[in-house]
């Protein structure tokens, strides 16, 4: 019995998670997978009533779960950033979910490429370091000296910028940090992940020809790990990778990308597989509580209308099942999604006429029919 936290959140999060749970319930009917799901009232409604975002009590309860099934967060009644930072980013930080896993699969005919070649790229985006640590500041005549705050420790850096300081100007900067520990655990996960998929190669994306310090160290550690695992390591610059994803996506399997570039490339990937409604993602801590969610947000423009495509949430459920030791059941959800696409049982964003719940039911029905 798996203990799952169910966090529908805001907007279409509520609708797609309800559909995803219909599908998970169907899986319990036909396999050994079983779960109890505790519903967490985390989101804008509660925040507007009580001022609470992610409370200590929430965290204590979530810690006891095997995994979190998450919808979406964000509401037009709340200032942008408050829900995202106070819930989603805090959750990823508290549970140290240092891998963001995003598969990019060719769901024909949704692929907007000329060549019909099947592909299955699995992006592993590092989720905690790089340029996303808020390590920056401003200095110069308007701001005085600069103090740099990194996490909870205060460092003061002497920065020797190669610029003409006369007349004095104002500067703003953002620093990317990678730690040996952070890179090492990222590389370990990437090689193990590729191995588990039966591959012999990891592609590492960076910009080591320009950001030589951070990505130089990353290359060195990944190379050591490649030797250790006896696997191949391919280096790609991020600009070349953006082109290669369009021209030859079928040549990639497991792709490790640092935080900032991962953010950008995975959105490109989302479009390659048919848009926001088709992407599931996992925020993974291999030794802790992981969280699975659709890549889209709360989409307030279509919330409450039954228009949301639940496939992204179902693919997130597939990843949850695989992560929790039920890969065959996960594959069944993949096949079920293929089935609804082939039979046109889809929401309007994919050209269909069904409502969110109806697509969920169609996927669940396919699963139930797999009972031997």
By CB under 6 A, is residue 277 in contact with ligand ATP? yes
* 234 beta partners: 203
Residues of span 58-117 touching ligand ATP by CB under 6 A = 74
Task: Give the residue from 33, 46, 45, 39 showing the smallest Cα distance to 70.
Answer: 39
Q: Considering only residues 14, 102, 225, 296, which one is a binding residue for ligand ATP as defined by CB under 6 A?
A: 296
For the chain, give the number of residues: 372
Q: Considering only residues 297, 330, 352, 360, which one is a binding residue for ligand ATP as defined by CB under 6 A?
A: 297
Interface size with ligand ATP, residues (CB under 6 A): 14
Please identify, using beta-carbon distances, which residue of 74 and 282 lies nearer to ligand ATP. 74
Q: Considering only residues 208, 299, 314, 341, which one is a binding residue for ligand ATP as defined by CB under 6 A?
A: 299
> Least distance in Å: CB of 98 to ligand ATP?
21
Stretch that binds ligand ATP, among 50-58, 145-153, 182-190, 306-314 (CB under 6 A): 306-314
By CB under 6 A, is residue 298 in contact with ligand ATP? yes
Q: At what angle do helices 12-30 and 311-323 cross, to 10 degrees?
A: 50
Residue 114's Cβ-count burial label (10 Å; 0-12, 13-18, 19+) is exposed
> Least distance in Å: CB of 348 to ligand ATP?
8
Please identify, using beta-carbon distances, which residue of 90 and 192 lies nearer to ligand ATP. 90
By CB under 6 A, is residue 301 in contact with ligand ATP? yes
Please identify, using beta-carbon distances, which residue of 16 and 183 lies nearer to ligand ATP. 16
Site string for ligand ATP, 15-54 (x = CB under 6 A): ----------------------------------------
How many Å apart are CA 194 and CA 358, to the nearest integer?
35
- Let me know: does 214 contact 202? Beta carbons within 8 Å: no
Say whether 2 sits in a helix, a strand or coil. strand
34: its two tokens: 């079983």
Please identify, using beta-carbon distances, which residue of 89 and 146 lies nearer to ligand ATP. 89
> Least distance in Å: CB of 45 to ligand ATP?
16
Please identify, using beta-carbon distances, which residue of 73 and 211 lies nearer to ligand ATP. 73
DSSP string, 73-131: ---TTS-TTHHIIIIIIHHHHHTT--EEEEEEE--TTS--SSS----EEEEEEE-SSBT
Q: Considering only residues 27, 284, 312, 336, which one is a binding residue for ligand ATP as defined by CB under 6 A?
A: 312
Please identify, using beta-carbon distances, which residue of 42 and 302 lies nearer to ligand ATP. 302
Q: Please, what is the Cα angle at 272 between 269 and 274, to 5 degrees?
A: 115
Q: Considering only residues 308, 316, 320, 332, which one is a binding residue for ligand ATP as defined by CB under 6 A?
A: 308
Q: Please, what is the Cα angle at 204 between 276 and 293, to 5 degrees?
A: 30
| Alpha helix positions (H), the chain | 12-30, 44-50, 56-63, 82-83, 90-94, 180-196, 212-229, 238-247, 259-272, 311-323, 327-342, 356-368
By CB under 6 A, is residue 337 in contact with ligand ATP? no
How many Å apart are CA 237 and CA 249, to the nearest integer?
15
By CB under 6 A, is residue 6 in contact with ligand ATP? no
Q: Is the peptide bond before 301 cis (omega within 30 degrees of 0)?
A: no
By CB under 6 A, is residue 336 in contact with ligand ATP? no
Please identify, using beta-carbon distances, which residue of 203 and 298 lies nearer to ligand ATP. 298
By CB under 6 A, is residue 359 in contact with ligand ATP? no
The residue with its CB nearest to ligand ATP is: 297
Q: Considering only residues 45, 96, 199, 349, which one is a binding residue for ligand ATP as defined by CB under 6 A?
A: 349
Tell me which residues touch ligand ATP (CB under 6 A). 12, 74, 276-277, 296-299, 301-302, 308-309, 312, 349
């Amino acid at each position: 019995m798996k203990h799952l936290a169910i966090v529908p959140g805001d907007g279409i999060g509520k609708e797609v998670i309800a559909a995803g749970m219909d599908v998970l319930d169907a899986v319990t009917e036909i396999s050994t997978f079983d779960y109890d799901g505790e519903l967490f009232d985390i989101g804008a409604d509660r925040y507007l009533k009580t001022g609470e975002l992610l409370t200590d009590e929430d965290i204590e309860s979530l810690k006891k779960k095997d995994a979190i099934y998450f919808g979406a967060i964000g509401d037009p009644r709340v200032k942008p950033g408050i829900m995202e930072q106070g819930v989603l980013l805090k959750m990823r930080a508290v549970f140290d979910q240092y891998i963001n896993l995003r598969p990019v699969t060719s769901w024909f005919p949704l692929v907007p490429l000329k060549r019909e070649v099947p592909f299955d790229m699995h992006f592993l985006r590092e989720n905690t370091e790089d340029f996303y640590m808020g390590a920056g500041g401003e200095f110069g005549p308007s701001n005085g000296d600069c103090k740099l705050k990194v996490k909870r420790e205060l460092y003061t850096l002497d920065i020797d910028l190669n610029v003409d300081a006369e007349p004095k100007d104002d500067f703003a900067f953002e620093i990317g940090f990678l730690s040996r520990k952070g890179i090492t655990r990222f590389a370990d996960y990437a090689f193990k992940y590729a191995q588990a998929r039966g591959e012999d190669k990891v592609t590492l994306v960076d910009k080591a020809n320009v950001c030589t310090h951070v990505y130089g160290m990353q290359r060195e550690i990944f190379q050591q790990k490649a030797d250790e695992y006896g696997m191949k390591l391919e280096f790609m610059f991020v600009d070349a990778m953006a082109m290669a994803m369009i021209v030859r996506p079928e040549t990639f399997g497991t792709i490790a990308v640092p935080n900032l570039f991962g953010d950008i490339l995975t959105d490109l990937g989302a479009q390659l597989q048919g848009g926001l409604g088709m992407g599931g993602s996992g925020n993974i801590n291999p030794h802790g509580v992981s969280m699975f969610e659709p890549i889209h947000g709360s989409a307030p423009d279509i919330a409450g209308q039954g228009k949301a495509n639940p496939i992204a949430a179902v693919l997130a459920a597939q990843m949850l099942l695989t992560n929790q030791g039920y890969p065959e059941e996960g594959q069944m959800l993949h096949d079920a999604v293929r089935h609804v696409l082939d039979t046109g049982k889809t929401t309007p964003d994919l050209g269909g006429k069904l409502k969110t719940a109806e697509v969920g039911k169609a996927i669940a029905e396919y699963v139930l029919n797999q009972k031997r």
